Amino acid sequence: MKSNVYNIEGKVKKEIELPEVFTTIPRVDLIRKAFRAISLSLRQPYGSSPLAGTRRVGHNAGPGRGTARIPRATSGSNHAVLLASFVGGRSAHSPRTEKILYKGINEKERKLARSGALAMTTSLESVQARGHKVPEGATLPIVVDNKVEEIRKTKEAKEFLENIGLYEDVQRSKDGIKVRAGRGKMRGRRYKQPKSLLIVGTSKENLRAFSSLPGVDIATPHSLSIRKLAPGGVGGRLAVFTEAAIESMRGGQ
């Protein structure tokens, strides 16, 4: 499988043979399973205090007094305490910090899911199904010259994406920002935004100019994960690889 290599001006520079990993037959079920496993494993444990609702002293008067034998406050009142069914009592089934939130996945399944997600970046049908705007006549995945990693300003990064015809997808992500429905608005995640490009190079530091563009993620071949290749568990992300990143993936993926 071959792909064109584009220069800074967006012109076809040459043709390159893609690594064997891009020919993997994708397993949609494994991609979804791997995404779910890693997403659930990133949850932060939370829970109430084990002593919540039990910091009061309560006694019952025993049988023969015409009242239920439930613990009551020792202050002389008839106020019930401690039990989950009463105001101020313990929580019946509250979240516990000791709950194991980690979800495992077999190593072979994880690797096959990652390889399949990489292979889906070469499928025009899969990429368009995610809603990405693909330049007409472009070969997927889009491979660019290593000089891209020399870009240091966001303005220059924008000009490069315009030259190659990819800035339309960035604009799609920017226009798709919307206010989240529900309680998430009160919890630091007020807005939702569609994912745009995934740019893969040999160093994240060299790609920082792209990181502030709407919906754009940056990665290296070693940091590629299902969460970046298949956001939401859906493969076919529009990906841009530098020539050096493609070469580093030969044989080891």
What's the N-to-C CA distance of the chain in angstroms?
16
**pLDDT of residue 67 exceeding 90:** no
In the chain, DSSP finds a helix count (H) and a strand count (E) of: 8, 10
- Give the residue, 67 or 139, on which the prediction is more confident: 139
Q: How far apart are CA 192 and CA 174, in angstroms?
A: 10
* Tokens (6 digits) for 127: 């990429």
**Global pTM exceeds 0.85:** yes
pLDDT single digits (tens) 97-107: 999 999 999 99
Q: How confident is the model at residue 253 (pLDDT cuts 50, 70, 90)?
A: low
Residue 106's contacts (CB-CB under 8 Å, 6 or more residues apart) are: none
**C-beta of residue 158 within 8 angstroms of C-beta of residue 203:** no
User: To which H or E segment does residue 200 belong?
Assistant: strand 198-200
Closest-CA residue to 142 (of 22, 20, 26, 224) = 22
CA dihedral 198, 204, 208, 209 (to 10 degrees): -60
Q: How confident is the model at residue 250 (pLDDT cuts 50, 70, 90)?
A: confident
pLDDT single digits (tens) 184-211: 999 999 999 999 999 999 999 999 999 9
Q: What is the CATH number of domain 2-22+120-248?
A: 3.40.1370.10
What's the pLDDT at 252?
59
The most distant pair of C-alpha atoms in the chain lies apart, rounded to whole Å, by 95
